[in-house]
Amino acid sequence: MKKEKLEFSSDTANLGLMRRSVREFLDGYNFSEKERLLMVLGVDEACTNIIRYAYELRDDQPIILSMEALRGSIRMRLRDYGLQALVQEMSVRPRYPLKPGGLGLHLICTAFDKVDYILKRRGTELVLTKNLE
């Protein structure tokens, strides 16, 4: 089983490195280019939300991305130690009418087959699972 871990600070300058790491991790798996792109964008959106909401734009806070290949799926875990989102207030809104805000969660849910938020004593762990064909 393939496993990788990337630890980086909440500086948006680190998002390029994170995207590259996710792309490289997905190499060798039988995903279409569209699925690959959506997963990279989904993880990017989740990291952006961590920076914006959990860390309130502070650029020196830890984010841990763990990526693992399981039997039949790929799982990505994002761990932060910031403010927790109120999961019951989070919802995927309809794509139309098109207006700012709220589409990030739609993108994440489109990219992955299962999205779980695990509230920790401090912070949140977001678990993103994509089934292998």
Arithmetic mean of pLDDT, 58-72: 97
User: In CATH, what number is assigned to the domain containing residue 59?
Assistant: 3.30.565.10
Q: What residues pair up with 117 in beta bridges, in sequence order?
A: 126
pLDDT band at 109 (very low <50, low <70, confident <90, very high): very high
User: Looking at the predicted structure, is the pLDDT value of residue 95 above 60?
Assistant: no
Q: Can you give the pLDDT at residue 101?
A: 59
User: Looking at the predicted structure, is the pLDDT value of residue 89 above 90?
Assistant: no
What is the domain count for the chain? 1
- Condensed to tens digits (0 to 9), the pLDDT of residues 5-21 reads 999 999 999 999 999 99
Q: Can you tell me the distance from the alpha carbon of 80 to that of 25, in angstroms, rounded to the nearest whole number?
A: 21
pTM: 0.89
Q: Read off φ and ψ for residue 78, nearest 5 degrees.
A: -115, 125
Task: Answer with the residue of higher pLDDT: 104 or 128.
Answer: 128
Asked whether the bond before 97 is cis by omega within 30 degrees of 0, the reply is yes
Q: Can you tell me the distance from the alpha carbon of 116 to that of 118, in angstroms, rounded to the nearest whole number?
A: 6
Q: Amino acid letter at 24? A: E
Arithmetic mean of pLDDT, 53-72: 97
Q: Can you give the pLDDT at residue 99?
A: 54
pLDDT band at 39 (very low <50, low <70, confident <90, very high): very high
Domain region containing 15 = 3-131
Q: Can you tell me the distance from the alpha carbon of 131 to that of 44, in angstroms, rounded to the nearest whole number?
A: 19
Two tokens at 49?
A: 């939300």
Arithmetic mean of pLDDT, 71-97: 78
